[in-house]
Amino acid sequence: MRIRYAVIADIVGSRDLPDRDRAQQIFLDVLARAGEGLDLLRGPYATVGDEFQAVAHDLGTALTLTLRAQLLLPDALSLRFGVGAGEIREVGAGAAAVQDGSAWWLAREAIDSAHAAQDAGLDFVRTRVRLGADALDGAARCTDDLRREHEQVANAMLTFRDQALQRMRDRPRRLMGRLLMGATQVEAAAAEGVTQSAVSALARGTGAGLLAAQALFPAVAGDGGAGPRGTGASR
């Protein structure tokens, strides 16, 4: 079975947004930008209500998409993400065909888990992952205990990532977003009107943990997927 990574995003506090139409367009624009240059099987698209979906080849790509989106969104807007690793198959034919499969079921469980963590007092949590039984390399030899262990490690890292993002101010978040989109430190500095040394300090300080954690996610999932292109950490 070929493993795919289904991504479900929903809007945090959608009913309280003063201009829902304008917010919807901002979410669509940010998600489209976040997907630029990534090897996605299907780029982000709106589904029903306050949800969006995408499909990636590997966990590194899926979580790069979610990180970029979080960094690029303005302060007043936020998305919650669930990523599921499993099978995706087409049900039906032609225009009536829809996607189904364990990757989507697990993505739904993951986003529900993120919501539950917020309800339990971890307001900063935005992302959760669920790995299917065959999601790790050497799936035939993979035990449920090993899969759960990898899943727990990935979600612990995501908790750190989400908390670090919540603590970042507007400009550092935008700068990190630019770096993860492939901009050089010089280009990011010019766009934000700061010095290159300030961007370098960010990439080697607060941003270093984000970049390091992001690079480790493929290994955690055992999928060997590529991480983000152009971290900008040393340019």
- Rounded CA-CA distance 109/149 in Å is 17
Helix axes 59-72, 144-167, angle to 10 degrees: 20
State the CB neighbour count (10 A cutoff) for residue 103. Answer: 26
160's enclosing H/E stretch is helix 144-167
- Rounded CA-CA distance 66/148 in Å is 22
DSSP state at residue 217: H
Give the global pTM.
Answer: 0.86
The residues spanned by each domain of the chain are 4-221
Q: Is the C-alpha dihedral spanning 171, 124, 107, 61 positive or negative?
A: positive
Residue 66: predicted pLDDT: 96
Q: Distance between alpha carbon 5 and the CA centroid of its chain, in Å?
A: 11
Q: Tell me which architecture the domain covering 4-221 has in CATH.
A: 2-Layer Sandwich (3.30)
The one-digit pLDDT tens for each residue of the chain (235 residues) are 788 999 999 999 998 999 999 999 999 999 999 999 998 999 999 998 899 999 999 998 999 999 999 999 998 899 999 999 999 887 777 766 677 789 999 999 999 999 999 999 999 999 999 998 777 654 445 677 777 888 998 899 999 899 989 988 889 999 999 998 989 999 999 999 999 999 999 988 878 888 777 777 777 766 544 444 444 444 4
